[in-house]
Structure 1
Amino acid sequence: MDAIVFGATGFIGRALVAELLARGQRVAAAVRNDTLTPWLSSQDIATAGLTIVTADITRPLTGLPQARDVYNTAARFAFGLGVREARAANVTGALNVLEWAATLPGLRRLVHISGYRVANARPDYAGLGAYEASKAEADLAVRARARELGIPLTVANPSTVIGPGQYIGLASLVEDLWNGRLPALPGDADTFVPIVTLGYLSRFLAEIPTSPEGEDYWVLDDTTPHLPELVGTIAGHMGVRAPRRTVPTGLVRRLPRKITGADPETLSFLSADRYPTASARAFAATAGLAMPPAADALRAWADDLVATRFDAASPWLSPYGFRGGTWVMGDAHRPAHVLLHGLPMNADLWAPLAAHLPGPILAPDLPGLGRSAPTAQPTDAWLAGLMDPVRTRPTLIAHSLACGPALRFALAHPERVGGLVLIAPAFLQAPGPRLTRSILAAPMLRRMSAAHLAAALGLPEGPEVASAAADLRRPGVARRVIAAMRAASAEREASRALLERVSVPVEILVGSADPLTAATGHRVTEIPGAGHYPQITHPAQVARSCPS
């Protein structure tokens, strides 16, 4: 093998394996259970050079294939660990990897992953917590044993690693920010929590065996903004309010955790310390590596965190992200269909239907709803801005209360629209009594569980409803849903009049259990057995009525 990677199913390990395979190396991945191969397949990484081997680093290692380069990315990374559990993986495991590497006749380099806060630190289990203390103990032990055995060792000390799949540490703070649970920041204006992107770290690690042995590399972005500015950057991108106050770390330590919500083990990472990055920067320059701008990396990571609901869901459409505060999924330039959701849902409403539609899709969350930030613009101006980069003549597919804005855009810009599909248009129907009774007040709507919301909407409890319920719990969203319902109700008669003037082809789809109550001169397709959300319950039938 060119390389063997221990901890190959972990966040850093699997990315390193992908990087080495992309470079054409023959890689052995040492794992307990093979969750790596499916992940590599999901990332379209060719695995012809991959060998999966079973290994438990907490025990002496035998029977593994020889390798030129040995990477130990294995670690038990969590807060609240017991000392025995933490030491087994982080100390004993690290030494077992080293002892095995010492038996390799052709060893070029052992690369040990330590940490930017633990390198050469005293392993204080009482003060630091089991995770950080065990990593500090391992750092000292690995260096000492490597000197005794004459092992060619390089230690990499990465900072907070961000990227797709990272949901620990700083991600918890971002989640609290997103859900309105971050009234103040721990630390002060000088608190420095440096980041490094997973992609950059993987490339850096892949280059290390060509560098001189015995080096220590602090791998982090010195340009990372101080914590208040870092949080402000993410908040501005997501369209949420950043906390204006800071609370000294010492005070947070003294307060009960049930009040602060802060894990005591995370507080040691909140400091104004700076780190010796000169050697890492020099090596990166020699290897031709460049970090992406920190602000861009933070914004991209925030997009991934929101898209995956902080590891609670999988995005159904890509690319995705915030654009000027609006959450947008799909092709913003050449869509075949533009999908506008109704209430109280978000763009995830369209996932079942999208599987049956040909061509690219553009699916936003309406302003102030779902994941999108509110805007001072009228909805019609917002929709015009959304459509401005579009270079095709897509079909507009709108649901319920979104049918009004879609209709007005088609009337104002018929040359920009190939057709109009109105699903359960609210202005042609009586208000749903079950829904109206269930969400008379925003506080009630915000408190609804996914199960209760599904029952109120007459839908099965599925990912689309769970996604909507999660957004409704965020500050202000439920209140804006109620406001949007009232505004649309006031526009019913005007929308009916506009429907008779539109010049683009129009298809109207309703469920048999949710019929129209007003006449229209356009063709109406009734879907047997469907209610107000046929795109969820009967997506194939809806797709057959949508122009390609």
Structure 2
Amino acid sequence: MTPDSIVFGGAGLIGRSLVAELLRRDRTVAAALRGPADRLTGWLAGQGVDTARLTVVSADIAVPGLGLGAAPDLGEVRDVYNSAARFAFGLEAAQARAVNVTGAVNVADWAAARGSLRRLVHVSGYRVSGGPADYRRDGAYEASKREGDAAVRARARELGVPLTVVNPSTVVGEDQFIGLASLVRDLWRGRLPLLPGDRETFLPVVDVGYLARFMAEVPGHEETAGEAYWVLDDATPNLPELVGLLAAHLGVRAPRAAVPVSLVRRLPRALTGADPETLSFLSGDRYETAPALAFAERAGLRMPPVGTVLRTWADGLVATGFGERARFGEKAGFQDVAGSRTWVTGERESPQYVLLHGLPLDADSWARVAGELDGPVLAADLPGLGRSAPARSAEEPEELEEWTRDLLEPVGTRPVLVGHSFGCGPVLRHALAHPERVSGVVLLAPAFLQAPSGWLTRSAVGAAVLLGTSPARLAGRLGVPVDALADLRRPGAARRVIEAMRAGHAAGQELRKALDRIGVPVTVVTGSADPLVTGEADVVIEGAGHYPQLTHPRQVARVLREAVARAPRGRW
């Protein structure tokens, strides 16, 4: 099948979204990229996009001829999209120019040789106006985009190429970890005491899905030839309000004061933490968006609400630890649960399994187990732990009981409740109070049945974190992956872990009595290296320690599946 469109930079944030949009419109698409094809095809598969009309070709736009080599027949390509760019801060000028200037001109030359060319759509940047490129003032990335914009326009005029330039602002979407994302990361981790800029600072965003739809529409409209469109959401709040919106969503404190960009430039980077190249984006400038909005209106395009876009993007950033860990669950984000801004993953209304983590972990500690299960899963970060904001008093049993009840209020099925270590407490209390809504309970490494010395050891580990032990060293001591401890860097996280450990130890007698009184089937699971001192385990996983869900996920999943098989079916 001969492609009618080609997307250079097809595996990038913009490029892959554009490829997906074109395929959904039944276009035949060639995606040109450097590196392995599964960078794109794996992502498309995760989005449920049919790739039968896709051809992936290897390309390097920095060389004449674009390095296409033995690419399949591209003679019928009529729409050429260039979304390839070297996007990073701290680049050398030569590195940035090779792709953003020379590469962009090479794409224009290649497009000019297409006999069936309908349009070349070039992705530029929203800061390209305002004079010639200044590599010293603006940094290599922005300066090269400005130079490349002018060079592509000039070459298109020289060769008679029908060109449309799209100038997007900060593009937000899955896996966008550069630029504004670094500010959100600092906000999340309590490292943003002051906000650079002032009340008029405007850092506009645009949703990547909307941008892809806009670009896909452009070649089919003759009036877009020769035009340049600034594509951004004018409704983006000014930076202080934008940060306030995200802070409220994430359950963290927003900076209370701002510092002028001119002052930030003069202060040492070691003090401010600000990359000098990002500061040129912090201004009160506004942009001519009327032509883009008019075209979008004619094409029937509507921007999604900017607040929704920002909150969804922030959820994605937190879900992946800002690119430091794999995402667990498609339905993941913050929800209000009993007054706690809670991180919830999975099926909220019809789960077959409900999984509550132990210390010092979060809901992602169940990821490998969930991948082995045969039914929908609901997991959440306990209040004040992982990514969840604290409840009024998360270490008090009644507060945690209220939180569990509110978390499970929408559930209409009778799931098996699974708790690990500290998480066994809320599981037991809920099953005892609401046996009609639970089909079974699995207690994994229940700390309240173990020796107190185990708790003291783990409390000492928590204290070490509080005193500055790195997550890497702590992970080695616990025998868990370092990404399982990513959120211990949040302000107050280590203190809350210690408080929870002490609360769990104090509740031991109460929980042992609850275990004797519970009216639903219970399975107690422990590792051979993490024995119980009170009672006997129903299942012992050979070679496992205190975290078998991390070290022996298949064995744990088998136990959970067997618990479901024994449990009564139906809804409560």
SS of equivalent residue, structure 1 residue 112: strand
- How far apart are the structure 2 equivalents of 1:446 and 1:358? 42
Contact persistence 1:55–1:61 (CA under 8 A): no
The answer on whether the counterparts of 2:12 and 2:84 sit within 8 Å (CA) in structure 1 is yes
Matches within 5 A, 1:96-107: 96-107=106-117
Q: CA deviation at 1:200?
A: 0.5
**One-letter amino acid of the structure 2 residue matched with residue 343 of structure 1:** L
Which of the numbers 383, 402, 409 marks the counterpart of 1:388?
409
1:50 equivalent to 2:83? Answer no
Percent identity between the two aligned chains: 61
> Is the 8 Å Cα contact of residues 109 and 153 (structure 1) preserved in structure 2?
yes
1:404 pairs with 2:425: yes
Q: In the TM superposition, what is the alpha-carbon distance from 1:469 to its structure 2 partner?
A: 2.2
Q: Distance in 2 between matches of 1:77 and 1:540?
A: 40
Task: Tell me if 1:476 matches 2:492.
Answer: yes
Alignment RMSD (CA, Å): 1.9
Does residue 346 of structure 1 match 2:346?
no
Q: Judging changes above 3 Å, is the alpha-carbon distance between structure 1 residues 381 and 437 closer, same or farther for their aligned structure 2 residues? A: closer
- Find the partner of 1:537 among 551, 561, 569: 551
> Which among 418, 426, 430 is matched to residue 439 of structure 2?
418
Q: Deviations over 1:107-139 (max 9, x none)?
A: 111111111111364211121111111111111
C-alpha contact (below 8 Å) 1:352/1:535 kept by paired residues = yes
Aligned partner of 2:457 in structure 1 is 436
2:262 counterpart (250, 254, 265):
250
Deviations 1:146-198 (Å, cap 9, x if unpaired)? Answer: 22222211111100000001111111111111111111110011111000011
**Deviation string for 1:490-528 (max 9, x for gaps)?**
2211222222221111111222332222247xx733333
Map of 2:43 onto structure 1: 39
Deviation, structure 1 residue 250:
0.3
- CA–CA distance in 2 between the matches of 1:500 and 1:3? 67
Could you say which residue in structure 1 is the equivalent of 2:279? Answer: 267
- Give the letter aligned to residue 403 of structure 1: C
User: Counterpart of 2:65 in 1: which secondary structure?
Assistant: coil
Distance 1:437 1:90 in 2: 52
Matched, 1:81 2:85: no
Displacement of 1:89 after TM fit?
A: 1.0
Which stretch of the first structure deviates more once superposed, 126-135 or 29-38? Answer: 29-38
Greater mean alpha carbon deviation, residues 343-352 or residues 167-176? 343-352
- Residue 219 of structure 1 aligns with an amino acid whose one-letter code is V
1:267 deviation in Å?
0.6
Contact map agreement 2:81 2:122 (CA 8 A) in 1: yes
Q: Deviations over 1:66-92 (max 9, x none)?
A: 311111111111111111111111111
Of stretches 441-450 and 290-299 in structure 1, the one that deviates more from structure 2 is 441-450
Aligned equivalent of 1:93:
103
Indicate which of 349, 353, 374 corresponds to 1:333. 349
Aligned to 2:197: 187
2:508 to 480, 492, 511: 492
Moved more, 313-322 or 213-222: 313-322
What secondary structure is seen at the aligned counterpart in 2 of 1:123? coil
Shift of 1:438: 6.3
Deviation at 1:44, TM superposition (A): 3.0
Residue 153, structure 1, aligned to residue 172, structure 2: no
Give the whole-Å Cα distance in 1 for the aligned partners of 2:453 and 2:370. 25
Give the conservation status (yes or no) of the 8 Å contact 2:352–2:413.
yes
More deviation, 525-534/105-114: 525-534
Moved more, 437-446 or 158-167: 437-446
Counterpart position of 1:362: 378
Q: Deviations over 1:342-374 (max 9, x none)?
A: 111111222232233221010101000011111
SS of equivalent residue, structure 1 residue 439: helix
Q: Which amino acid aligns with 2:56?
A: I
Distance in 2 separating the partners of 1:361 and 1:393: 12
Residue 475 of structure 1 deviates from its aligned partner by: 0.8
Contact kept? 1:370, 1:468, Cα under 8 Å:
no
AA paired with 2:377?
I
Distance in structure 2 (CA, Å) of the matches to 1:538 and 1:432: 24
CA distance in 2, matches of 1:61, 1:343: 56
> In 2, are the aligned partners of 1:257 and 1:263 still within 8 Å (CA)?
yes
> Tell me, what secondary structure is at the counterpart of 1:196?
strand
Q: Does 1:228 align with 2:249?
A: no
Give the corresponding residue for 1:167: 177
**Residues 177 and 155 of structure 1, relative CA distance in 2, 3 Å threshold:** same
- Report the equivalent of 1:296: 308
What do residues 261-297 of structure 1 show as CA deviations (whole Å, max 9, x unaligned)? Answer: 1111111100111111111111111111111111110
Find the counterpart in structure 2 of residue 13 from structure 1: 15
Counterpart of 1:507? 523
Is contact 1:446–1:472 with CA below 8 Å preserved after alignment?
no
- 1:409 maps to a residue whose letter is H
Unaligned runs of 5+ in 2: 394-398, 565-572
Aligned-partner residue type, residue 511 of structure 2? S
**Mean alpha-carbon deviation: is it higher for 159-168 or for 370-379?**
370-379
Is 1:108 the counterpart of 2:118? The answer is yes
Instruction: Identify if the C-alpha distance between structure 1 residues 282 and 453 changes in structure 2 by more than 3 Å, giving closer, same or farther.
Output: same
How many residues in Structure 1 have an aligned counterpart in Structure 2?
A: 541
Cα distance, 1:358–1:39 mapped onto 2, change above 3 Å? closer
**Residue type at the aligned position of 1:216:** A
Once residues 346 and 13 of structure 2 are traced to their aligned partners in structure 1, the CA distance between those partners, rounded to angstroms, is 26
| Counterparts of 2:137 and 2:313, CA distance in 1 | 31
| Counterpart code for 1:271 | S
Once the two structures are overlaid, the 10-residue window that deviates more, 211-220 or 346-355, is: 346-355
Query: What corresponds to 1:59 in structure 2?
Result: 63
Q: Decide which moves more: 4-13 or 436-445.
A: 436-445
Letter in 2 for 1:388: E
Deviation at 1:402, TM superposition (A): 1.8
Please state if 1:24 is matched with 2:40: no
Q: Which deviates more, 365-374 or 488-497?
A: 488-497
Q: 4+ residue runs of structure 1 moved beyond 6 angstroms?
A: none
Cα distance in 2, alignment partners of residues 453 and 441 from structure 1: 9
